[in-house]
Structures are given as structure tokens and as C-alpha cells.
Structure 1
Amino acid sequence: MKPTVRFAPSPTGRLHIGNIRTAVLNYLLARKAGGTLILRLDDTDRERSTEEFAEGIRTDLRWLGFEWGREERQSARLARYSEVAEQLKGAGRLYACYESEEELDRKRKRQLGRGMPPIYDRAGLKLTDAERAKLEAEGRRPHWRFRLNNTSAESGLTPLPTIVSWNDLIRGDQTVDIGSLSDPVLIREDGTPLYTFTSVVDDVDFGITHIVRGEDHVTNSGVQISIFEALDAVPPALAHHSLLIGADGHALSKRLGTLSIETFRKDGLEPMAILSHAALVGTSDAIEPHGNIDELAELFDFGKISTAPGRFDLEELKTLNAKLLHKRPYEDVADRLAALGITGGAPFWEAVRGNVTVLSDARTWWTVVAGEIDPVIENPDVTAKAAELLPSEPWDSSTWGKLTAEVGKATGLKGRALFHPLRLALTGQDAGPELKALLPLIGRARAEARLRGQRG
């Protein structure tokens, strides 16, 4: 069976590196096996979800190179959630509760004071029809809880096992003791269904075969498996990856706004650098730049994903970006260079690509070869002699070697004492691309002016 997976962001903000790691793992699983990725927008939070954020999510994913088979929006499926909720109510698995947050908080404090776990006491199950009617007459509206299969012997009912277990594709054998959990609220007082419920209904209806998500959902998975079973559905295979931490070993949560895909794009990072990092961080594979998604898909294997936190380092991502650009052929960047106003063609790109971290860095070197700069004259005697000895054009990659040999012979200088003053005068930069490639692009007129200390 070809896998069907889903990436399910909430359109309440922009995507960040943590989101994208989950998205990438799902996408590579589907891509490797010829399966399907569904983009599911979890937009039931009416106050925070916006169409602007939804479009931002689509923009980020398209820019990164994602393709999805279809898009679903939870806000369009409210009638379906109501239908399934009625099914669970009829089966006695969804029951009405009327406590306020303050009342629930007092209950928890009393239980803790008695040395008891702060688990909901299922008072809602014990209400009579008359008691419910009285509460509603007072203006109370129920929230609805899902009755977990953790009936105790004291209830007078047949005890049920409280351990939910599964073989996690990343973490191995996992168990959750739902006997230690409160019956979860699936529907709020205002009728809004919660993620724990809607996600299961969607996964059943859409034929999701694998759920790949963060390890912060492990306990939630124990509850959701119970809901799948209550709906007579087989849960998908589960895989919970570790969460990312920063280079300093601390959580990324407070910094995610600065690690958004939108920010990366504005900073000039390459989509495949971001995808390569997101796919390989926290795995046994080396974090190296890959040219396309299919290369990453071939590497994908749940067995390579570590249960230890993945360490995200922005500087490592920038280094990865530079390595990717250093390998890019001119054809891959020609249109983008032209958009930057760079018309030097393949000779220019091959000369400078080893000295760019982001593509826009090429503009600095385009100014050096085709614009005006203020030369830095470190040793006037060396640069003046070089200006005198400049050969006639045409120039090629051998011109630099011939020129420096002549200047060295005339001045008696060699090594840094010879080369550094010439570089500063010709480029205005302390370091950069090899001058044997840059000098023919700079041309004789500019080179002579700069060697004489003139702007050119």
C-alpha cells in the first residue's frame, strides 16, 4: 500500500524550522514510496486562524518545493465532526460535563491535597436528566468528554486494560497508561471541536496510513488510539520524532519567530539548503547539501532518525547554504543572477561562486568586476609598478600569473607582500575569488585606474 500522509499546520502564524522538519519527514516518506501528501489546515481556532496565514503556509511550502495531492480545511468539515460526535454520544463514549474552569481547578487542588492524582472524577457521567436540565436552565452549556477505556473495579463495571501500546516507527515499543489520564475534552462549551478529536476523524476519512509528528504528541497518541478504536477504525502507523533544540542545547520555542521560513527566504537562504538540513538533522546521515528532493527521499529511513533531540544551528544552515551554492552550475542560477542585475554569464559565476554564502553576495563581486570601487592602496610602489606592466588585452586566466611574475621581478617582492597590495587595489577587498579569474572580468581600463589609486 502506498502511504498517505498529512502535514497539518494551523494557520495562526508562519511556518518555522520545527514545522518544516515534520513536513519534510512526511513528504519524504510519501515521495520515496510514490504516496500522497495531504495538506490539512487545522483552522478551527476561529479567532486566530486567518486566510493570510493560510496563504503564507502555501507560499512557504511551494517555495520549498513541496507538492501535495489535495488540501483540506477543518473549518469546512464541522458538520462531519458533529455527525461523528453524535455517534460517540449514542455509544456512551462522549458525555456532557458542566463544570467551569474554576470548579475544575478547585477539584484538582482538593485531589492533590488528599494525595490523589488530579484526574477528572467523571461527575458528568453521574448526572441525571433532571440535573442536566437544571444546569442548562441556569445558562450553563456542556463541554463533552471522551470516556477512556479505564473503568475501575470500584465502578461496578468490568475492569478494562488501561495500557495503550504501539510499535513506534522511530521510538520502538511505546505504552501510555490512560488510567492516569483525565477523560479528554473533545468539544468545547461553544461547540468547537478540539484537535484530539478532529484529527482522528480526518485521519479515518482521508485514509491516512502513517502519522509522523513530534514526540510531544506521544501521550496524545494513547488517547487518539482509543478514539480510533471507539470508531471501529485501525489507527495509522505512528512515528514520533524528537524535537529540535538550539546550538546552545536549549529549546527553540522562544526563537521560532526568527526561524521562520519567510525570514529564511528574505535572508536569501536556498530552499534545498533548508530542506537538506531539516531532513538530515537528528539522523545518522551527514548533514550535507543535496540538489533536489528526490535525493533526500532516497536517503529517508525511519531507522536513521535518532530519539535524541536534533540540534539546529543557524550558522550550520548558512554554511550548508554556501556549500550548496558552491556546487551550483550557472544554468541553475542564471535567471536569479539576471534578476539581481548581474550579466556576467558563466565566467563570472564560476569565478565568484566559491565566495558567496547567499546568492545576493554575488552583487558585491559584480560591482568589483563591472562597477566602480574605491581602491585600497597599501603599497604605492607595488601598485604603480603593476599599472606600468599591465599587458595589452585580450586577457585570460594566465594574465594574472604573468603580471605578478613581472611585478615580482621588478620589485623583488613575493608571497603576501606582493599579492595582498594588488588584491586590495584591484578589488577593495582583503580576500575573495582568485584573481586569475577576476582580472579578465575587471578589464584593463578599470585595473589600471585602480592600481593608480583612482576610483574605477
Structure 2
Amino acid sequence: MPQPAHSYVGRLAPSPTGLLHLGHARTFWRAFERARAAGGRLWLRDEDLDTQRSKPEFAEAMREDLHWLGIEWDDELRQSQRVPIYRNAAEQLVTTGLAYRCVCSRKDLQAAMQAPHEDTDEPVYNGRCRENNTERTFDAGSSYRLHVPDGERIAFVDGHCGAQSFLAGCDAEADFGDFLIWRKDGLPSYQLACVVDDAAMEVTEVVRGADLLKSTARQILLQRALGLPTPAYYHCELMRDEAGVRLAKRHDALSLKALRESGLTSGQIRAGF
């Protein structure tokens, strides 16, 4: 029997590379509340493409933490099962001349697997491999970058942060340059996998942290290049520690598992949001 259509589709997108912390909890709770208020559906997307850091025990823990927090979802998707689909998207970009082979450093390529947060964003690429690169044959064992339009401003209105504008290009004034879409180890970048999955899941609103606002500009360019729809965006404020540093998985003392084991209830956690 076909599933009923919903006008609102949201998603939770944790990566099983560590324990979820309070910052994750608040963002995921916001995503759950917005989907529930709209009478919509919610996906859980297991972003397990980082083969070196993703662990089964973290995948199990994140599901346990979400259920304990009171979050339920309707469907699940695992990125590691969808690599051929990402490859097809990358090949489309290369064969149409919208992406090109890159032979730059291994460090840059490793960074492309993870969501580029405010304190880990990849540097503006200088376009070195872009010059005279007209090859249109895709090789899954090579790295590729999207050829961004120099000097173009990508603008959107965020549901929480308001009007946003970012400059694409390869000069010092740009907010970001030609970014990686495919790694030479045969895996997509975070940006490409995210865009392909959001479209496949028919996501209508992406709820995530404000440190990913610049990623949204990149993803809008990818959506245009692949002919995919652009969902609405809602970027939540970040939670920080006493020193003002964004909470991350290195903050083990603030993990949901540790807080639960300390005797706190899910209701007490949610009351702090």
C-alpha cells in the first residue's frame, strides 16, 4: 500500500563517530518538534561514510540516546549503502563539465568527508587544478571538485537566522572556493552525499546547527548543478562550553550517555533547551 504524502519531511543526520552531546540533542529535538508540529514525517540518516571513525557501538548509542530523549522517526537510511548512487551524481557533474579532477593534498581530501563546521571549514581553494582541465571522463579512484561560479553570491533566507549571503570563487574575498565532491578512495564528500540524500528523501526542511550555514550555500550550488530541489533551511544556535567553544564530541562529560548515567532524566535535559 502506498504511503500517504506529507507536505513536511524532515531529517536527523547524526554520524556514528562518537557519542551525541547536548548540542546534538537540542538540534535534533528542534528538528523533531518542527516535524511533529507540521504533522510531517521524519527520517533518521546514519551518516556512516567515515570508515575510519564510524563505529557500530556509536551507531547503537546514538539510536539509544535519541529514543531516551523522546525522539521518534518514521524511516531510516544508511549512507554506506548508497555509494553507487553518489557515484552516479559525481559522474554526472564530471561528464557535464561542472566538476574537475583534483590532485591536491591528502589532508584536504580527508577533511571533505566531514561536515565543515565553523572551526574546521576547508580553506578557499585557489583553483590550481581547474586550469585547462577539460577531461570529462569520471574515475572513481580520483578526487574531484565542483567548479563554482567566480564572484557569484549565493543568497537564501534561513528560517531561524534570517537572510544569508556567501561569495563563491577562488580569490581572497570569497567565502569558499571549488569544493570537493569526490575522494580518490571512492567515497563522496559530505556536501555531495548530503545533497543527494536530501533530494532522495524528499526533505522539505533541513534543521541543523548554525555552523553549517556556509555548507548550505555550497549545497545550493550542487542542487542547481544536479537539477535537484532546494529545501527550506533552519539553522539552530550553537551550544557552547564555559569558554565559548562550540560543543563537540570531544566534550565527553556532556555526552547524553554520561548525563543519563549521572542520573539526569530526559525531561531535565529537554527543559534546558
Shift, 1:121, TM fit:
2.0
State TM-score, norm by structure 1: 0.51
How big is the alpha-carbon RMSD for the aligned residues of Structure 1 and Structure 2? 2.4
Shift, 1:84, TM fit:
1.2
d(CA) in 2 for partners of 1:51 and 1:31?
A: 29
Aligned to 1:121: 127
258, 264, 268: which is aligned to 1:269? 264
SS in structure 2 at match of 1:201: helix
39, 42, 45: which is aligned to 1:40? 45
79, 91, 95: which is aligned to 1:74? 79
SS in structure 1 at match of 2:196: helix
SS in structure 2 at match of 1:235: coil
Structure 2 vs 1, CA of residues 47 and 63 (structure 1 numbering), >3 Å: closer, same or farther?
A: same
What pairs up with 1:308-323 in 2 under 5 angstroms? Answer: none
Structure 2 vs 1, CA of residues 91 and 66 (structure 1 numbering), >3 Å: closer, same or farther?
A: same
SS in structure 2 at match of 1:31: helix
73, 94, 99: which is aligned to 1:89? 94
Aligned to 1:27: 32
d(CA) in 2 for partners of 1:103 and 1:52?
A: 28
Check whether the contact 1:212–1:241 (CA below 8 A) recurs between aligned residues.
Answer: yes
What pairs up with 1:239-278 in 2 under 5 angstroms? Answer: 239-247=234-242, 249-253=244-248, 256-278=251-273
SS in structure 2 at match of 1:75: helix
Shift, 1:209, TM fit:
0.5
Shift, 1:255, TM fit:
6.2
What pairs up with 1:31-430 in 2 under 5 angstroms? Answer: 31-101=36-106, 119-127=125-133, 142-150=142-150, 162-179=152-169, 180=174, 181-247=176-242, 249-253=244-248, 256-278=251-273
Amino acid at match of 2:14: P
Check whether the contact 2:20–2:249 (CA below 8 A) recurs between aligned residues.
Answer: no
Deviations 1:135-172 (A, max 9, x none): x9xxxx5311011122xxxxxxxxxx600001111111
Deviations 1:315-344 (A, max 9, x none): xxxxxxxxxxxxxxxxxxxxxxxxxxxxxx
Bigger proportion of residues as helix:
1
> Unaligned 5+ residue runs, structure 1?
105-116, 151-160, 279-456
d(CA) in 2 for partners of 1:240 and 1:264?
A: 25
d(CA) in 2 for partners of 1:103 and 1:201?
A: 22
d(CA) in 1 for partners of 2:107 and 2:45?
A: 34
Deviations 1:164-213 (A, max 9, x none): 00111111111011121220011111111111110000001100011111
Bigger proportion of residues as strand:
2
Check whether the contact 1:12–1:53 (CA below 8 A) recurs between aligned residues.
Answer: yes
d(CA) in 2 for partners of 1:127 and 1:98?
A: 12
Shift, 1:271, TM fit:
0.9
d(CA) in 2 for partners of 1:196 and 1:221?
A: 9
> Unaligned 5+ residue runs, structure 2?
1-5, 110-122
Structure 2 vs 1, CA of residues 14 and 166 (structure 1 numbering), >3 Å: closer, same or farther?
A: same
Structure 2 vs 1, CA of residues 82 and 269 (structure 1 numbering), >3 Å: closer, same or farther?
A: same
d(CA) in 1 for partners of 2:50 and 2:234?
A: 26
Check whether the contact 1:5–1:26 (CA below 8 A) recurs between aligned residues.
Answer: yes
Structure 2 vs 1, CA of residues 3 and 103 (structure 1 numbering), >3 Å: closer, same or farther?
A: closer
d(CA) in 1 for partners of 2:81 and 2:124?
A: 36
d(CA) in 2 for partners of 1:221 and 1:38?
A: 19
SS in structure 1 at match of 2:251: helix
Q: Which has the larger radius of gyration?
A: 1
SS in structure 2 at match of 1:245: coil
Check whether the contact 2:206–2:232 (CA below 8 A) recurs between aligned residues.
Answer: yes
SS in structure 1 at match of 2:198: helix
Check whether the contact 1:17–1:256 (CA below 8 A) recurs between aligned residues.
Answer: no
Q: Which of the pair has the greater relative contact order for Cα pairs under 8 Å at 6+ separation?
A: 2
Structure 2 vs 1, CA of residues 168 and 184 (structure 1 numbering), >3 Å: closer, same or farther?
A: same
d(CA) in 2 for partners of 1:244 and 1:83?
A: 37
Structure 2 vs 1, CA of residues 78 and 253 (structure 1 numbering), >3 Å: closer, same or farther?
A: closer
Deviations 1:220-267 (A, max 9, x none): 111110001111122110111221123564544486211111111111
